Amino acid sequence: MTGVYLFDLASQQARYLGVRQATIASNVANANTPDYKARDVVPFSQVMAGVGADVGLAMTSSAHATAGEALIPTKPVNGRDAWDALITTSSVSLEQEMLKAGEVARDHTLNMGITKAFDRMLKAAVRGS
């Protein structure tokens, strides 16, 4: 019989969501920075499968803050994917970044709900035996 590692999986997804939120925040903060290239993290399923492990977050200065987990790869966002009507040399689309932030919030809420339900189920199983 194999163990159920739901808490470990939920913890890994929480770290992933934290890195994705930090990446989104960095994109929003640099929306007006000339020639800034927006970034996003690869989907969680690819992180778990180990796909894209050769693509990592690059720091151009030692003074830059890290996103927390350098093991979660990021990918550049193409300028042609942006929705902005503003004339800027940045590839950041604030509308898309806000949609991504909403996805992260929704995924975090789901993650916490599943973790709480699993915790209650385990406690009930221990009390019942």
pTM value is 0.65
How remote is the C-alpha of 29 from its chain's centroid? 16
12 is a domain residue: yes
**What is the pLDDT at residue 95?**
86
Q: Cα–Cα–Cα angle for 12, 15, 16, nearest 5°?
A: 85
The torsion angle over the Cα atoms of residues 65, 68, 70 and 75, rounded to 10 degrees, is -80
Q: Is residue 123 part of a domain?
A: yes
In a domain, 82, yes or no: yes
Pick the closest to residue 74 from 10, 19, 124, 29 (CA basis): 19
**Has residue 116 been placed in a domain?**
yes
Tokens found for residue 73:
């790869």
> What are the tens digits of pLDDT across the range 77-128?
665 555 554 555 677 888 888 999 999 999 999 999 999 998 899 899 888 7
CA separation, residue 78 to residues 69, 75, 82, 87, 108 (Å): 23, 10, 7, 16, 26
Q: Does residue 1 belong to any structural domain of this protein?
A: no
Residue 104 lies in a domain: yes
In a domain, 103, yes or no: yes
Number of structural domains (the chain) is 1
Per the listing, tokens 């994705």 go with 20
Q: What is the pLDDT of residues 22-81, one digit of tens each?
A: 999 998 898 888 888 888 888 888 878 875 444 444 455 555 555 444 555 666 666 555
Residue 108 three-state SS: helix
Give residue 115's domain range. 6-128
